[in-house]
Amino acid sequence: MKIKFLLSCLFLLFAVQLFAIPYGHPCAAKRDRHYKNHPKTTTADLAEMNYDIKRLNFNLLASDTSTFLRGDVITAAVVTADSMATYVFELDSLITLDSAKFNGISVSVVRIGDVRKINLTSALHAGTYFTAEIYYHGIPPAAGGFFTALTHTVSTHGTNMVFSLSDPYAAKNWWPSKQCIDDKIDTVDMFVTVPSGVVDGSNGVLVNVDTTSTPGFWKYHWQTHYPIDYYLISITIARYVEDRSFLHFTGSTDSMLIQNFFMDTATFNPTYKINFDSIGQIINYFSSLFGRYPFWQEKYGVCYTTLGGGMEHQTMTTIGVPNTYIIAHELCHQWFGDHVTYATWGDVWLSEGFATFSEQLFYTHFWGPAAGLAHRKALNNSAMSPACGSVYVTDTSGPSTIFSTTYVYDKAQAVVNMLRYIAPADSLFFTVLKTYQQHFAFGNASTSDLKHIADSVYSMNLDTFFNQWIYGQGYPSYKIWWDQVGSTVYVKLVQIASCPSVTPLFRTPLELQLHGASADTIVKVYNYLDTQVFTFNWAQTMDSVMLNPDVWTLCKLIGTVHKDTTLPLGINFKTQSFKVFPNPTKNFWQVEQLPENTDLTLIDMFGKMVWTGKSDRDKTIIPGKQLPAGEYILHLSSGEENSTMKLTHW
């Protein structure tokens, strides 16, 4: 979902308004150990967890000129509790419930706010299959912003349309639902009856359009057999023109349907159409990175509306802007959000962060590296506009707190970018993404689940990375001084954390660009102290240092970079002449020419101390045989003197 655009967005149709809904969910209970409890209002009932939905059958009567809805929905489910004496679901109190059946028998329904309950004549036991059919009608509440269950609007050229949006807690406003993200529905049949000539776009495959049974009306039947979350079910109703094409995957004879619906008017901008025609190319590209488009045996498409952004309804995105990077963002959600859905709303960055990250992938691949870098830089600057705030969501009471543009979109994409940067090889980063998609296919995953996969693929412990960037707050800023004596370059970094009360120090790899009149070079350092001096051997004559030139790390420069001729005096450590060999190594490093009892600490690239000791008189052995392959930092300290050196383990 994309609900806020960059200043460069050319086609902003409607301003986005975020309205907090005082609503929370027991079935979205935060299972991650880092989650902090918070007070929130809820009208849902824990009894909803007593069953698992297998199938939904919608039979709706709707139009393109009003949000009035009449219908019945059959829920087929299996009891998961030891005993279920009450069937509980949610339907907004403003919607009239006409009647109900349970296992085909008429029953009464008790309403407590938005919670509806059917008391069963006898309790059902675990494994029992049942059906509940709810007949209802009404006008869903008008929230007045992006997160409105059903919206009726008229385009600038006079096309009426009605479209749904259930994210995060608005499904109950237009159909009797169980709003629990870890209960995916196996099959959905969507029957929507609309006035003749009006089109409905929905999830899955268009099975049939009945244009004859009811005079004056057409009945659309859509069906999906891929597991789907409640908030991804959608309808979009307008006088559309269907635009079909087929994608042929690279290296395969398989193809898939791309099915778009645009306004039925000659004034629909041809440039918009050109942008949407690129969907097939983007699907093919993302498939090479994340694994094949997961719903390829059904379709992918968009329904163009007046929505101020996009919403990634499974296989059928509702979208209101023609920008290609937004098209790419919503498409990426089919992998990150739809195929693998976050385990809790606290983990929503696993959807929005990756989709926002995919924008720079799109720019870099199709428009060139400079476009990708510019986009990444703009998002990183936005992410650093507040001093504090975490990527992990701790207040899930409503959309305004869940979908923070700063944290869940902009900062989260920076975190994904850094996860790529710290990979031992770029290919391993995409191995993590493919493994994540394979392991949690059509299910749910948490932040910890992603971390465990990255730990395994990278052969590293990423506790420090996730603790400071996902659960921690803020970002590091740096003051920089430098000097050069002959071919020796000295760079001093002083780190200042933006939110020190929560995350006082960031331990992170960082790039510095040494700039000279005739040449530049980029060096990678590991910053793990608030004040740290690095030495480099570079024969070119320097005139400046640039921080983070390729914007791999979320950080900021404070003030200007200064030359400081006293730097060499401040690091006149006798150990500058020490020797370490072999480097790289497979088994051990041998250190010589160190003063006895110099403190030695070996740290991996994520801040974890893996070995510590003191130097001997002649030589010191640092064991490495059991360490994972990668780069390490050797820190040497004696009194007030210190030095560092990068070591490599094959």
Q: pLDDT of 205-220, one tens digit each?
A: 999 999 999 999 999 9
For the beta sheet containing 129-138, the strands, ordered from the edge strand earlier in sequence to the opposite edge, are 105-107, 96-102, 129-138, 69-79, 51-61, 187-195, 217-224, 205-210
CATH number at residue 61: 2.60.40.1730
pLDDT tens per residue, range 153-208? 999 889 999 999 999 999 999 999 999 999 999 999 999 999 999 999 999 999 99
| 562 and 583 both lie in a single domain | no
pLDDT tens per residue, range 221-256? 999 999 999 999 999 999 999 999 999 999 999 999
- Rounded to an integer, the average pLDDT of 132-153 is 94
pLDDT of residue 33: 34
The pairing of beta strand 562-563 with beta strand 476-485: parallel
Q: Is the pLDDT of residue 577 over 70?
A: no
pLDDT of residue 570: 61
pLDDT tens per residue, range 411-428? 999 999 999 999 999 999
From residue 238, alpha-carbon distances to 152, 197, 245, 257, 385 in Å are: 10, 9, 21, 21, 40
Q: Is the pLDDT of residue 630 over 80?
A: yes
Domain contains 462:
no
Q: How far apart are CA 647 and CA 611, in angstroms?
A: 13
Q: How many CA atoms lie within 13 A of 374 on its CB side?
A: 9
pLDDT tens per residue, range 526-540? 999 999 999 898 999
Domain contains 459:
no
Higher pLDDT, 81 or 15: 81
| 160 and 82 both lie in a single domain | yes
Domain contains 560:
yes
Cross-strand bridge partners of residue 188: 56, 224
Q: How far apart are CA 451 and CA 114, in angstroms?
A: 37
Domain end residue (candidates: 348, 363, 378): 363
- Rounded to an integer, the average pLDDT of 261-270 is 83
Q: How far apart are CA 580 and CA 537, in angstroms?
A: 16
Could you give the 3-state DSSP secondary structure of residue 610?
Answer: strand
Domain end residue (candidates: 570, 602, 622): 570
| 545 and 578 both lie in a single domain | no
Q: Model confidence at 571, in pLDDT bands (50, 70, 90)?
A: low
- Rounded to an integer, the average pLDDT of 489-499 is 96
Domain contains 395:
no
pLDDT of residue 151: 97
Q: Is the pLDDT of residue 12 over 80?
A: no
CATH number at residue 505: 2.60.40.1840
Domain that holds residue 489: 476-570
What is the domain count for the chain?
Answer: 3
Q: Model confidence at 14, in pLDDT bands (50, 70, 90)?
A: very low
Domain contains 58:
yes
pLDDT of residue 591: 92
Q: Model confidence at 378, in pLDDT bands (50, 70, 90)?
A: very high
pLDDT of residue 643: 75
The answer to whether the peptide bond before residue 26 is cis (omega within 30 degrees of 0) is no
| 71 and 194 both lie in a single domain | yes
Domain end residue (candidates: 514, 541, 570): 570
Cross-strand bridge partners of residue 194: 218
pLDDT of residue 7: 30
| 222 and 110 both lie in a single domain | yes
Average pLDDT over the chain, rounded to whole?
Answer: 91
Burial 377-394 (b: 16+ CB within 10 A, else e): ebbbebbbebebbbbbbe
Q: What are phi and psi of 270, to 5 degrees?
A: -60, -30
| 333 and 288 both lie in a single domain | yes
Domain contains 392:
no
Q: In terms of Cα–Cα distance, which of 15, 444, 450 is closest to 231?
A: 444
Q: Model confidence at 489, in pLDDT bands (50, 70, 90)?
A: very high
| 265 and 357 both lie in a single domain | yes
Q: Model confidence at 32, in pLDDT bands (50, 70, 90)?
A: very low
Q: Is the pLDDT of residue 35 over 70?
A: no
Q: Is the pLDDT of residue 329 over 50?
A: yes
Domain contains 356:
yes
Q: Is the pLDDT of residue 263 over 70?
A: yes
Higher pLDDT, 264 or 401: 401
- Rounded to an integer, the average pLDDT of 265-293 is 92
CATH number at residue 630: 2.60.40.3080
| 131 and 219 both lie in a single domain | yes
Cβ 571 vs Cβ 394: under 8 Å: no
pTM attached to this predicted model = 0.89
| 247 and 187 both lie in a single domain | yes
pLDDT of residue 439: 98
| 550 and 641 both lie in a single domain | no
Q: Model confidence at 645, in pLDDT bands (50, 70, 90)?
A: confident
In degrees, rounded to 5, the angle at the alpha carbon of residue 21 between the alpha carbons of residues 28 and 141 is: 115
pLDDT of residue 11: 29
Cβ 392 vs Cβ 470: under 8 Å: yes
Domain contains 485:
yes
| 495 and 589 both lie in a single domain | no
pLDDT of residue 29: 40
| 118 and 241 both lie in a single domain | yes
